[in-house]
Structure 1
C-alpha cells in the first residue's frame, strides 16, 4: 500500500508540473494565434477504445476541449489489446480501457494515469434476469440486480444447459455469456480475468494456479463461436438485434444510451437489465501519454469540467475526487451509488499467459 501511495504521489506531481509548465509557456507567448488561455491550438492524435467514441463526439466535450484547452482530438478506435500491441507512430496518446491493457504496453511512456472508471457488468433481457432470479443466481437489492452466485451461473454454462431448460423456451441454444474477443478487446480479456478468478475458487489467479484452469477458460470462449472485436459493436448488437441474450459490457454503456437517446428509455426500462456480478472487476481507462501534446490532453481530461461531463452525459465514473458520481443525476434506475463487491485482476504476467493460451488454435 505504501508503494502504491508513493506511485500515485509521483503521478500527481508530474501532472502538476505539466500544468505549471504550460502556464509559464502561455505567459511568455503573445502570438496572435494563441488563445486567451495562453496555449497554442493543436490537434492531438490518439487511439481509443470504442466505448469512449460517444464521449469524444459529444458537442459539449468538443467545446470544452477547444475553448478551454485549445485542443482538437483526432481519434481512431481500436480494441485495447490490439491498440497496445500495434504500431504507435504519429500518435500522441493511447486511451485503452483498462490497466491490464496498459500494462501490456512495453514501449517508453511520458506518463500513464487513470482518467475514468466503469465496473464490468452483464447485460441481459428482462426475461433472462427473471429466470436467473428464480434459480437463486440473481437477487434484487434496493432496485439493483446483483449476480450473487456466479459459480452457479458458470455451472449452467459448463453443464451445457439450454435456455429452454431454465424456463426460457423462446430462446435458442445453450446458456452462455457472450463477450468480445479477448485477443482484441478489453472487455473480453477483463471477463477472462474475472472467470479465471472464479475458476480459482474465487481467489485471484496466480502464475502458480492459472495453468490448471486454462483449458476451462479456452473451452468457455471457444463455445461462444463468433466474437466481436470491440465492446461498442457487441453492445449495439445486443440492443438492436437481440440474438445474444446475455453479454459482457461496461456500466457506462447503457447509462450513455439512456442519456443520449431518451426516445429509447421506455424500451430499455422494459426489456433490458444490468447485472452487477459479485464480485466484479473495475475497468479503468488510463491515458498513455506519448508526446507533449498528449501531456496537454491529460490535463484536459483530468479537469473537473471534463470529468463532470463524462459522468452526467456518458456514465463514466470520475477519477477526479472533486467530482461526484450520484446515480440520482442519471435517467435510468438500477445503478448503485458505489460498487463495493470487487476482486483484483490477475497481474499482467498471468493475463499475458491467459491471452497467449486463448490465442492458440
Structure 2
C-alpha cells in the first residue's frame, strides 16, 4: 500500500513540475530564475535591422527581461503611412519624422540613443579624381570630405566623369557625376541628402520660406529624377555599392553606420580594397529617435542609451552613442578613417518644410 501511495505521489509530482514548466514557457519566461520576458514590437528604419537581429543584442536585452520584434519601413513612411496600432515603439532615422510621430501619438516620449552622420560611400580612384578637380580633400584623420557646393556645381553643369582632369588615369567613365541615393519619396537617407543639398543651395542656411523652397526646387529635383529608379530603403543601394563596384555605383549616399558596421561585420567585411568613406561638407546628422508609443518601451530606450553592453554593440554596428570615443575605436580597429568630431554640419528643415520639398520633388516624377 505504501508503495502504491509513493508511486502515486511521484506521478503527481512529475505532473506538477511538467505543468509548471509548460506554464512558464507560455508566459515567455526564459527559465524560472530569469522571470517573465516582456516582448516589445516596433517599426524601425532598415539600417537598424542588423543591430536588432544580432544574437548578442537579443541576449543583452533578454538579460533585462526584454524581447524585441521589429518590422522595417522608410522613416518617412513610418511617420506618414504606417499604421502604428499594435506597435509599442517607432524608431525612425530622422528627428523631424520622430517629431511628427510623437505629436500624432499625443506627445509620446522620444529619445535618441544613437545617431549617424550621412556619408558618401565611394572608391579611392573616384575620390582622388574629385580631389584633383577641387571637389574633395582628405581631412586631418585621413577621412575624405566631399565639397557639396563643388559637387552640386558639377551636377548643374552636366559634368561627366570623363570630362574631369585626370579621368583617363583614375576613373574614365561616361556616366554623369551623380550620387546614387534612395527614393526621396520614401527613405530618410534620401531626405537627409535633400536637406543637406537644400542648405547649400540656400546659401548655407535652413530653408524656411515658400520663396526659398521655390528657388532650390529645380536643382533638388534633378538630383533625384536624373537617377532613374531608386530603391525604397537605404539597404539596397549600399548592397549594390558592395557588390557592383565603381563601374556601376561610383558614389552612394549612406549612413556612416552602414559603412563602419560593414567593416566590423562578423564573418568578414565585403568592402573592397579601394572602398572609401567621404563626408559631405556640410554633412547632416541623422538622429535615430525612439518614440515610445507604449510606456513599456521607455525601458528599451533607456537601456539602448545606458547599458554598456548594448552601447558597445551599437558602436560595433557603426552607430555613434553617448560614448564619444566608442565609434572611433571600432572604426580604427577595422581600418576605417572617420572624423571623431564633425564641425561642418547642416541642420534639417522642419518636418513641414521637408515634407513640402519632398512632395514638390515627387510631383515632378510625373511630369
Q: Could you say which TM-score interval applies, normalised by the shorter chain?
A: 0.7 to 0.9
Alignment CA distance shift 1:37-1:293 (3 Å): farther
Q: Paired residue for 1:6?
A: none
Deviations 1:69-122 (CA, angstroms, capped at 9, x unpaired): 211111111111111212112100011001022123241243111121111111
Match of 2:279 among 276, 287, 297: 276
The question of whether the paired residues in 1 share the 8 Å contact of 2:264 and 2:330 is answered with: no
Q: Deviation per CA, 1:143-195: give whole Å up to 9, x if none.
A: 43343532111111111111111215643421101111111110000110111
Which aligned runs of 4 or more in structure 1 are off by greater than 4 angstroms?
A: 31-39
The structure-2 alpha-carbon separation of the partners of 1:344 and 1:244, relative to structure 1 and needing over 3 Å to count, comes to: same
Following superposition, the deviation at residue 43 of structure 1 comes to 1.2
Aligned residues: 325
Residue in 1 that maps onto 2:223: 220
Structure 2 residue aligned with 1:99: 95
Of the three residues 43, 50, 68, the one matched with 1:73 is: 68
**Among candidates 33, 57, 64, match of residue 61 of structure 1:** 57
Mapped pair 1:293 → 2:288? no
Q: Matches of 1:162 and 1:248 in 2, distance apart?
A: 18
> 1 CA distance for matches of 2:122 and 2:330?
24
- 1:293: how far off? 2.8
Counterpart Cα distance in 1 of 2:28 and 2:116 = 41
Q: Tell me, what secondary structure is at the counterpart of 1:104?
A: helix
Counterpart check, 1:182 vs 2:184: yes
* Aligned mates of 1:104, 1:141 — CA distance in 2: 36
The verdict on how the C-alpha distance between 1:178 and 1:329 changes in structure 2, with shifts beyond 3 A counting, is: closer
**1:263 and 2:268 equivalent?**
yes
Of 243-252 and 205-214, deviating more is 205-214
Name the stretch that deviates more: 145-154 or 275-284.
145-154
Supply the distance in 2 between the matched residues of 1:57 and 1:139 (Cα, whole angstroms).
Answer: 36
Q: Secondary structure at the match of 1:237?
A: helix
Structure 1 residues 73-222: aligned runs within 5 Å: 73-85=68-80, 86-105=82-101, 106-108=103-105, 109-147=107-145, 149-166=147-164, 167=167, 170-207=172-209, 208-222=211-225
Aligned to 1:12: none
Residue aligning to 1:333: 336
Q: Does 1:352 align with 2:329?
A: no
Q: Which deviates further from its counterpart, 88-97 or 143-152?
A: 143-152
Distance change >3 Å, CA 223–CA 52, structure 1 → 2: same
Unaligned runs of 5+ in 1: 1-30
Distance in 2 separating the partners of 1:359 and 1:104: 20
Alignment partners' CA distance in 2, 1:39 and 1:196 = 51
Q: Which moved more, 1:248-257 or 1:138-147?
A: 138-147
* Cα distance in structure 2, aligned partners of 1:37 and 1:139: 57
SS in 2 for 1:345: coil
TM-score scaled by length of structure 1: 0.84
Call closer, same or farther: CA 1:226–1:302 in 2, change over 3 Å. Answer: same
Counterpart CA distance in 1 for 2:35 and 2:88 is: 17
Instruction: Say if 1:35 and 1:302 are closer, same or farther in 2 by CA, change over 3 A.
Output: farther
TM-score (norm 2): 0.83
Note the aligned Cα RMSD (angstroms): 2.3
Q: Secondary structure at the match of 2:291?
A: strand
Change over 3 Å in CA distance of 1:293–1:326 after alignment to 2: closer
**In structure 2, do the counterparts of structure 1 residues 157 and 39 end up closer, same or farther at CA, with 3 Å as the change threshold?**
farther
Whole-angstrom CA distance in 1 between matches of 2:186 and 2:142? 31
1:220-256 deviations in whole A, cap 9, x for unaligned? 2111111111111111111112312101011111111
Q: Which has the larger radius of gyration?
A: 2
- Residue pair 1:143, 1:333 contacting (<8 A) in 2 also: no
